Amino acid sequence: MLNGIFSVEFVNSILRATTPILFATMASSVAAKAGICNMALEGMMLLSALFGVLFSALGGGIFGAATGLSQFASFGVGFLLTVLVGGIIGMIFAFCILQMKADEILAAIALNLVASGGTIMLLMAVTGEKGASNAIASVAAPKVTIPLIESIPVLGKILSGQNLLTWLSLLSVVVMHLFLYKTPMGLKIRAVGENKDAAESVGISAKKVQYIALTISGMLASMGGFYLSGGYMNMFTRDMAAGRGYIALAASSMGADTPIGGFLVSILFGIAQAVANLMQLTTIPMQLIQMIPYLTTLIGLGVYSYVRMKRRKRLLQSE
Amino acid sequence: MKKLIALLLAAVMTLSLAACGSGDEAKNSDDTKNADSSTEDSDQAQEPEDEGDNAEAEGDDASGEPYKAAFLVNGNLGDKSFYDSANEGLTRLKEDLGADAFDFKVEEMGGDPADEANWEPTLLDYCDTGEYDVIVIGTWQMYDALLSAYKMYPDQKFIFFDEPFDFEAEGNPDNIFNMMFKQNEVSYLVGAGAALMTTSSEIEGIDPANSIIGFLGGMDGVLINDFLVGYIQGAKDVNPDIQVAVAYVGDYIDSAKGKDLSLAQFQNGADVSFNVAGNAGLGLIEAASESGKYAFGVDSDQAALLPDYAASIPSSALKNIGNALYLAIQEDMAGTLAYGTTKSYGFAEGGVGLVMDAHYEEILPESIRTKLAELQESIVNGEIEVKSAYSMSTEEVAEVVNSVKIQ
């Protein structure tokens, strides 16, 4: 058990578990900052997981799926198309709740249900299978080996050989942080999320801003979905998002909907999951182990609420 | 406050979805399946028997109407396994006997949570028509529906498969035939095969130094544990020092988590594992393929279904529900089907089987194959009695699992 925790593989398994949640957490953050609770993340991820397989297979058809440059090109085509479709799904979701004034929670539930059934239907239409996409020769995201760093013991094995999307997910934290806090559009998004009417009174079109936020949210969620079927696994299996969209929603909330906060909580969830996986090798009863990720969430939420309550009290006192 | 409510809502949704998801999958995976390829051997074995029954069926025929069966699927056909196997058995029976002697109807009721509410009304509708000699349903999810149906329609006959029916608690109804499968028997063979493989020096990619094997289950329930208990017994019988890394995914859909759990097993010395986790089990197969190790398939001939990963799948454990239905309905036509009882279909009855085709011969050396064939023979003739989780308490199962845990 201890050997397991201090191994390179353990760090890798944390990163594997964190990557999809991290993307989705960023997706949730940007939507939440614009004042929308994007509960449709689960469905967006699931749809993108299937599209990722289909589009990267398409790319594979054009460039070939061999390793090296052609794999990169095939992956690139698949990834970009998937993110594009993810953005469109985000827009459709935005259209439903902003234009058609549907309740955002109900619209999200609808989208999640459509994704669950729709992916199976689409899979059936394309491959004739209902369970998994193994019949499609999809192209997974390449792993990034870094020449010199590779040879450093331990650290080299962690830094080099990671999936490209894992790096991208870490990068997305920085990008989202800069976007939300250092750009005019980020300011507008936050303003709309903080107080829609106030934002509109100074000439910001709240609807437009929320459209943009949800499109970005959809694109980020689709990256997480792509990773599920083209990085974590190498095929699509039905309902493979398995609740990660909801976990990301919780992670984002716990991180006060900030990219950095969400990142820290996602890592925490990733660690909890990886520890739980390793602990199944021990004699500790499985039921206790399976509690760990949820227990971590609960404790994290408790701590978060407590800190917030304290802060609010202090604020009240200072007034 | 608003955020907290949103959060709570999210948590509730996650939990409820997880619950639905697993329930949904349970029938797909647990209630295991079968591939056509494996049924061929047993088909041939049945031929003489069939002819005898044919004669009887034709005898019935003279009285007019064909024997009619309704198969209500609480899911969809096309799963390439469980339900398709049942459908295949019924189709084969119809072909063999002719449409004027036997006919059947399949009703796909859908397997989504939204469809569940329709299962019981559909079942009652079918009972109400009175047209069908027998109604075939299965899995634990249909249990409650059956409970109300058999009471309301005492003259309607039911075949209920893959979940034990508690005849005593229900006052011994005589219109239900309960069909069970001895997955523990085929699992015993898989366990023995895995244990023999992990110490073999003849198989590529296997480190014969340690004797560790793995097991990936879906949820910690009786059916999965029935597989597990047989698996461990088989492994222990051929190698008393065997250690088994047991992991449960917690659902039947999270293939990525299944892959992570399996990678942890392989990294800790396991060479061979066994997936009984529905779609989540595909994660094990990927993990085995990536690590250059081996994973036994379940439900259907997974080596045939997953050609890209076939090199890592020596064989698959099958539940031949189609075979069992084929036999049972013929017995019913002859009037000899023992309603009011539970019958378990094992190796001897062709209810379960291990895929032993050219692919299997390619991966496993002859010494192991011979041993497995011997073990199967011993199970069939009763020399080996495989323990079943259905007749064990939770503590006893835990004891078995702990006796082989990695120290």
**pLDDT surpasses 70 at B30:** no
A chain contacts of residue B1, beta-carbon cutoff 8 Å: none
Structure tokens that stand for B314 in this block:
């020596």
Q: Which pLDDT score is estimated for B10? A: 66
Q: Which pLDDT score is estimated for B281? A: 92
Q: Nearest C-alpha of chain A: how many angstroms from B79? A: 6
- Identify the CATH assignment for B15-182+320-345 out of 3.40.630.30, 3.30.200.20, 3.40.50.2300, 3.40.50.300: 3.40.50.2300
Fold match between domain B15-182+320-345 and domain B183-319+352-402: yes
Strand partners, B295: B273
Of A42, A283, A297, the CB nearest to B402: A283
pTM of structure: 0.82
A chain contacts of residue B7, beta-carbon cutoff 8 Å: 249-250, 253-254, 301
Q: Which pLDDT score is estimated for B199? A: 92
Segment 11-30 of chain A within 8 Å of chain B by CB:
13, 16-17, 20
Q: Which pLDDT score is estimated for B278? A: 85
B chain contacts of residue A249, beta-carbon cutoff 8 Å: 6-7, 10
**pLDDT surpasses 70 at A230:** yes
Most confident region among A230-239, B8-17, B29-38 by mean pLDDT = A230-239
ipTM: 0.89
- Across chain A, mean pLDDT equals 90
CB B343 within 8 A of CB B182: no
Give the separation between CA B394 and CA A65, rounded to whole angstroms: 48
**pLDDT band with cut points at 50, 70 and 90 for residue B339:** very high
B chain contacts of residue A280, beta-carbon cutoff 8 Å: 245-248, 261, 264
Give the separation between CA A218 and CA A220, rounded to whole angstroms: 5
Give the separation between CA B165 and CA B161, rounded to whole angstroms: 9
Element (H, E) at A289: helix A286-318
* Residue the block writes with tokens 């379940």: B298
Instruction: Please tell me the least confidently modeled range out of A34-48, B9-23, B205-219, B320-334.
Output: B9-23
Q: Nearest C-alpha of chain A: how many angstroms from B99? A: 28
DSSP letters spanning A194-228 = H-HHHHHHTT--HHHHHHHHHHHHHHHHHHHHHHI
As a whole-number percent, the residues of chain B with pLDDT over 70 amount to: 83
Q: Which pLDDT score is estimated for B77? A: 77
**pLDDT band with cut points at 50, 70 and 90 for residue A315:** confident
As a whole-number percent, the residues of chain A with pLDDT over 90 amount to: 61
**pLDDT band with cut points at 50, 70 and 90 for residue A294:** confident
Q: Which pLDDT score is estimated for B405? A: 85
**pLDDT band with cut points at 50, 70 and 90 for residue A61:** confident
- CA-based R_g, chain A, Å: 20
**pLDDT surpasses 80 at B348:** yes
Q: Mean pLDDT over residues B21-48, rounded?
A: 41
* Residue the block writes with tokens 């009863």: A285
Is A131–B257 a contact, with Cβ atoms under 8 angstroms apart? no
DSSP letters spanning B308-361 = GGGGG---EEEE-HHHHHHHHHHHHHTT---TTSEEEE-TTTTSEEE--SHHHH
Q: Which pLDDT score is estimated for B140? A: 85
How does pLDDT run across A156-165, given as a tens digit for each residue? 878 888 899 9
Mutate to test the interface with A, among B2, B260, B268 (most CBs of A within 10 A): B260
**pLDDT band with cut points at 50, 70 and 90 for residue B3:** low
Is B79–A131 a contact, with Cβ atoms under 8 angstroms apart? yes
Q: Nearest C-alpha of chain A: how many angstroms from B88? A: 17
Is A131–B279 a contact, with Cβ atoms under 8 angstroms apart? yes
Q: Which pLDDT score is estimated for B47? A: 41
DSSP letters spanning B170-237 = TT--SSEEEEEE-HHHHHHHHHHHHHHHHT-SSSTT--TTS-EEEEEESSSSHHHHHHHHHHHHHHHH
Which residue would you say has higher pLDDT here, B21 or A264? A264
Give the separation between CA B115 and CA A117, rounded to whole angstroms: 12
Q: Is B308's Cβ below 8 Å from some Cβ in A? A: yes
A chain contacts of residue B259, beta-carbon cutoff 8 Å: 232-233
Structure tokens that stand for B69 in this block:
């069966």
Q: Nearest C-alpha of chain B: how many angstroms from A273? A: 9
B chain contacts of residue A305, beta-carbon cutoff 8 Å: 4
**pLDDT surpasses 70 at B49:** no
CA angle B311/B315/B316 to nearest 5° reads 125
Q: Which pLDDT score is estimated for B4? A: 66
Residues 6+ apart with CB under 8 A from A249: A24, A28, A37, A38, A39, A41, B6, B7, B10
CB B338 within 8 A of CB B55: no
Instruction: Please tell me the least confidently modeled range out of A36-50, B20-34, B152-166, B216-230.
Output: B20-34
Q: Where are the domains of chain B?
A: 15-182+320-345, 183-319+352-402
CA B378, chain centre distance (Å):
22
**pLDDT surpasses 70 at B24:** no
Q: Is B77's Cβ below 8 Å from some Cβ in A? A: no
Residues 6+ apart with CB under 8 A from A96: A102, A107
Is A277–B247 a contact, with Cβ atoms under 8 angstroms apart? yes
- Identify the CATH assignment for B183-319+352-402 out of 1.20.1440.60, 3.40.228.10, 3.40.50.2300, 3.40.50.150: 3.40.50.2300
Terminal alpha carbon distance of chain B: 48
**pLDDT surpasses 60 at B58:** no
Mutate to test the interface with A, among B2, B219, B282, B395 (most CBs of A within 10 A): B282
Q: Where are the domains of chain A?
A: 19-241
How does pLDDT run across A63-79, given as a tens digit for each residue? 776 667 788 888 899 99
Is A238–B257 a contact, with Cβ atoms under 8 angstroms apart? no
CB B351 within 8 A of CB B319: yes
Give the separation between CA A109 and CA A127, rounded to whole angstroms: 27
Instruction: Please tell me the least confidently modeled range out of A73-82, A309-318, B178-187, B346-355.
Output: A309-318
Q: Which pLDDT score is estimated for B306? A: 87
CB A162 within 8 A of CB A248: no
Q: Is B18's Cβ below 8 Å from some Cβ in A? A: yes
Structure tokens that stand for B132 in this block:
């069908």
Mutate to test the interface with A, among B2, B8, B12, B13 (most CBs of A within 10 A): B13
Element (H, E) at B161: strand B157-161
Segment 103-142 of chain B within 8 Å of chain A by CB:
112, 114
φ/ψ of residue B160, rounded to 5: -120, 120
Q: Is B11's Cβ below 8 Å from some Cβ in A? A: yes
A chain contacts of residue B18, beta-carbon cutoff 8 Å: 242-243
Of B253, B256, B308, the CB nearest to A238: B253
Q: Which pLDDT score is estimated for A6? A: 73
CB B226 within 8 A of CB B162: no
Give the separation between CA A294 and CA A272, rounded to whole angstroms: 9
CB A14 within 8 A of CB A193: no
**pLDDT surpasses 50 at B46:** no
Q: Mean pLDDT over residues B322-344, rounded?
A: 92
Give the separation between CA B330 and CA B327, rounded to whole angstroms: 5
Rounded to 5, what percent of chain A is helix, strand, coil? Answer: 75, 0, 20
Q: Which pLDDT score is estimated for B9? A: 66
Other residues' Cβ atoms within 10 Å of the Cβ of residue A68: 9
**pLDDT surpasses 70 at A36:** yes
Q: Which pLDDT score is estimated for B32? A: 41
Residue of chain B whose alpha carbon sits nearest to that of A229: B256
Give the separation between CA A266 and CA A15, rounded to whole angstroms: 10
Structure tokens that stand for B92 in this block:
């084969």
How does pLDDT run across B88-115, given as a tens digit for each residue? 899 999 999 998 899 999 998 887 777 8
Strand partners, A80: none
Q: Nearest C-alpha of chain A: how many angstroms from B247? A: 6
* Residue the block writes with tokens 């999200």: A108
Is B256–A240 a contact, with Cβ atoms under 8 angstroms apart? yes
Rounded to 5, what percent of chain B is helix, strand, coil? Answer: 55, 15, 30
Of B7, B250, B260, the CB nearest to A16: B260
How does pLDDT run across A210-227, given as a tens digit for each residue? 999 999 999 999 999 999
Q: Is A120's Cβ below 8 Å from some Cβ in B? A: no
DSSP letters spanning A102-169 = --HHHHHHHHHHHHHHHHHHHHHHHHS-SSB-TTS---PPPEE--TTGGGSTTHHHHHTTEEHHHHHH
Q: Which pLDDT score is estimated for A316? A: 86
Q: Is B19's Cβ below 8 Å from some Cβ in A? A: no
How does pLDDT run across B217-270, given as a tens digit for each residue? 998 888 899 999 999 999 999 999 999 999 999 888 899 999 999 999 999 889
Q: Is A290's Cβ below 8 Å from some Cβ in B? A: yes
Q: Which pLDDT score is estimated for B48? A: 42
Is B247–A281 a contact, with Cβ atoms under 8 angstroms apart? yes
Q: Mean pLDDT over residues B122-130, rounded?
A: 93
- CA-based R_g, chain B, Å: 22
User: Under the phi-then-psi rule, with left for phi > 0, alpha for psi from -120 to 50, and beta for the rest, what region is A256?
Assistant: left
Strand, helix or coil at A181? helix
Segment 196-235 of chain B within 8 Å of chain A by CB:
220
User: Under the phi-then-psi rule, with left for phi > 0, alpha for psi from -120 to 50, and beta for the rest, what region is B353?
Assistant: beta
